[in-house]
Structure 1
Amino acid sequence: MRLNYRKANPEAFQTMLKLESYTKNSGIDPKLLELIKIRASQLNGCAFCLHMHTKEARAMGESEERIYLLNAWREAHCYTEEEKAVLSLTEAVTLISEKGVPESLYKQVREYFDEQQYVALIMAINTINCWNRIAIATGMVPGDFESV
């Protein structure tokens, strides 16, 4: 890695941990959170986060099939309509400069989640996008910090 951001700026690291804590305590299903983290990390090309979150998803009992097919979730039949709505939102927010978040997608997600939950989903997506950007910008690779 280029630098240890935790040591270089502990306050920034603590701020990220607060975001992560909010996300974990937001009421979103932990397995769904891992799907969000994996999908955003795939889109951003963050090997460090992909390694971490696929391991965490497996530890939670997520199936290999669902992890492997996540990159092609639209064609896979192993995801619920609720999960597909969240994965679509994950892609839209992660790639927000391309198309924004269309009204139709907002309505699709709101079929399953109330306003408070919708904001929690956005915060979860934003948090993993921040982690991805930190990991990529600091040159992190799978295995960094495993002994910490």
Structure 2
Amino acid sequence: MKPHYLDKANPDVYAAMRGAADLVAEAASAAGLSKLLVELVSVRVSQLNGCAYCLDVHTTKLLAAGETARRLGVLPAWRETGLFDETERAALELAEAITTLPAPEERLAIEYRVREVLSDAEFAALSWLAISMNAFNRVSITSRHPVRPKP
């Protein structure tokens, strides 16, 4: 069975998603979030969802933003290291909660924890970033977007 690329089947819908993603990027910038933090969250969400295509795209962007191979390598176990600062830890915890949707009591406890670190603008921008990344992961997974060898 050949892949069914949703972005090609309904280009106007995909263009609207891209437009929303551009607004999310603007909100992240306005909130003062670094490109590195934005890509760190994008990679972590894509790891949780198992989206190879998005992992390829955002790992490349993360490394270009200055991320180290060491931190990238331990990202799935970020809680077990001291390599991530307080803001990064809050952003990763929030993104994981939005992606995995734990029980309501746990989600509320996470929100209280991360709001002690993140400003309202950071919280909102990171929430939209995780929501947007989850949507793009699902488009790429459903479409079976391939990871092609790079020249």
TM-score by length of 2: 0.87
Give the structure 2 partner of residue 139 of structure 1. 144
Return the alpha-carbon distance in structure 2 between the equivalents of residues 4 and 44 of structure 1. Answer: 18
Give the structure 1 partner of residue 81 of structure 2. 76
Are 2:59 and 1:49 aligned? no
Give the structure 2 partner of residue 58 of structure 1. 63
Structure 2 counterpart of 1:45, one-letter code: G
SS in 2 for 1:6: helix
Which range moved further: 6-15 or 38-47?
Answer: 6-15
Q: Aligned ranges for residues 10-29 of structure 1 at < 5 Å? A: 10-26=11-27, 27=29, 28-29=33-34
Which range moved further: 111-120 or 37-46?
Answer: 111-120
How far apart are 1:113 and its partner, in Å? Answer: 2.1
Q: Once the two structures are superposed, what CA deviation does each residue of 1:77-131 show, in whole Å capped at 9, x if it has no partner?
A: 11012111111111111011x3245333212221232223211111000000000
How far apart are 1:3 and its partner, in Å? Answer: 2.5
SS in 2 for 1:23: helix
Q: Please identify runs of 4+ aligned residues in structure 1 that moved more than 3 A.
A: none
Give the structure 2 partner of residue 99 of structure 1. 103
> Alpha carbons of 1:131 and 1:66: their partners in 2 closer, same or farther (altered >3 Å)?
same
Q: Aligned ranges for residues 30-49 of structure 1 at < 5 Å? A: 30-49=35-54
Return the alpha-carbon distance in structure 1 between the equivalents of residues 132 and 92 of structure 2. Answer: 15
Would you tell me which structure has more helix in proportion to its own residues? 2
How far apart are 1:18 and its partner, in Å? Answer: 1.3
Whether contact under 8 Å (2:86, 2:117) holds in the other structure is no
Aligned residues: 145
Which range moved further: 121-130 or 9-18?
Answer: 9-18
Structure 1 counterpart of 2:118, one-letter code: F
The root-mean-square deviation of aligned C-alpha atoms, in Å, is 2.0
Return the alpha-carbon distance in structure 2 between the equivalents of residues 126 and 5 of structure 1. Answer: 18
